[in-house]
Amino acid sequence: MALHPQCKAFLDVLASAGGPPLHELPVGDARKISLSDFGGPQEPVARVEDRTVPGPAQPIPVRVYRPVLADNLPLLMFFHGGGFVLCNLDSHDRECRRLANASGCAVIAVDYRLAPEHPFPAAAEDAYAATCYVAAHAKEFGIDASRIAVGGDSAGGNLATVVTLMARERSGPALRYQLLIYPLTDYTDQSPSMQEFDGNFLSIPMMDWFADQYVPSATDRRSPYASPMHATDLRGLPPAMVMTAECDPLRDQGEAYARKLQAAGVPVVLKRYDGMIHPFVSLSGIIDAGHVALDDAGAAVRAALSAAGSATV
């Protein structure tokens, strides 16, 4: 399928704006660029609360979204995208609100440390530490510790699946589900989609720049905590929904990771969104499929956490 007209229109807007590409900007200037204007209206939820949880190096800001004012809610821990360099709690506020409403779960967004100031494995360790703390203090957060999912988009999808690996290997929280939205899973990827869709929002020079900020060591790029595709054993990880965009350089590696999970006996729902580009879920104000994908994700998480039961990690 060809690039969807709504995606092409967005790319045309970016091209007409001119200026240097993102990866040629100083990090501070790159962080001032936001896609939130394309995210559509901000959905109301019952309560939003900003707080902090202890981290391995410093307190970690988190934002708690509650779709209803009730205790013992299931929980989605959410990690934002941005190449481990960009974005924050505000950049993904709309996505978290819609996911909370669509899933019926509390959503806790994690403002992990960013590179290059804090390179690998800082983001992964923050994501894991926040998940552990919330699980251990479930009553304080009004959530059910037996019904916790992890999820995120792009770099956040990477963090979600890395947290499941850490939880299994470190005897951490019992996680029930992982939601991976066009996840980064392999820093060594040279699959066909990387070449075919180079420049559809993401470009190879941009992705190289992100990698250099977060994982400057070539050896570290093969660590399962940076590139989950390099994990030798995925058995016993939580069931997953893996969502990919057809016209995204990261498409093939996301789908390859889904197949690797399936080969390890992990139940997986893999859904490719035709004609879509990498950040389409964050562009739901101008790309209709963004709303569809968020509702699909919310429904999947709702079903996975609908009742207490035995965990998979």
**How would you write the chain as a 3-class SS string?**
CCCCHHHHHHHHHHHHHCCCCHHHCCHHHHCCCCCHHHCCCCCCCCEEEEEEECCCCCCEEEEEEECCCCCCEEEEEEECCCCCCCCCCCCCHHHHHHHHHHHCCEEEEECCCCCCCCCCCHHHHHHHHHHHHHHHCHHHHCEEEEEEEEEEECHHHHHHHHHHHHHHHCCCCCCCEEEEECCCCCCCCCCHHHHHCCCECECHHHHHHHHHHHCCCCCHHHCCCCCHHHCCCCCCCCCEEEEEECCCCCHHHHHHHHHHHHHCCCCEEEEEECCCCCCHHHHCCCCHHHHHHHHHHHHHHHHHCCCCCCCCC
Closest CA to 270 of 239, 235, 231, 238: 239
Model-level pTM?
0.97
Q: Find the angle CA(32)-CA(98)-CA(312) to the nearest 5 degrees.
A: 105
> Does the annotation count 92 as an active-site position?
no
> Does the annotation count 248 as an active-site position?
yes
Residue 21 — φ and ψ, nearest 5°? -65, 160
Looking at residue 307, its pLDDT comes to 64
Looking at residue 18, its pLDDT comes to 84
Q: Is 104 left (phi over 0), alpha (psi -120 to 50) or beta?
A: left
Looking at residue 308, its pLDDT comes to 52
Task: Average pLDDT across each block of 10 residues of the chain; the chain has 313 residues. List them in order.
Answer: 93 91 95 90 97 98 97 98 98 97 98 98 98 98 98 98 98 98 98 97 97 98 98 98 98 98 98 98 97 98 78 40
Q: Which of 153, 186, 248, 252 is catalytic?
A: 248
Structure tokens that stand for 231 in this block: 């994990």
Q: Which of 4, 23, 80, 278 is catalytic?
A: 278
Domain regions of the chain by residue span: 49-304
> Does the annotation count 171 as an active-site position?
no
Looking at residue 19, its pLDDT comes to 86
Residue 124 Cα distances to 45, 85, 213, angstroms? 28, 13, 14
Q: Which of 91, 103, 146, 154 is catalytic?
A: 154
CATH number for domain 49-304, candidates 3.40.50.1820, 3.30.390.50, 3.40.50.300, 3.30.930.10: 3.40.50.1820
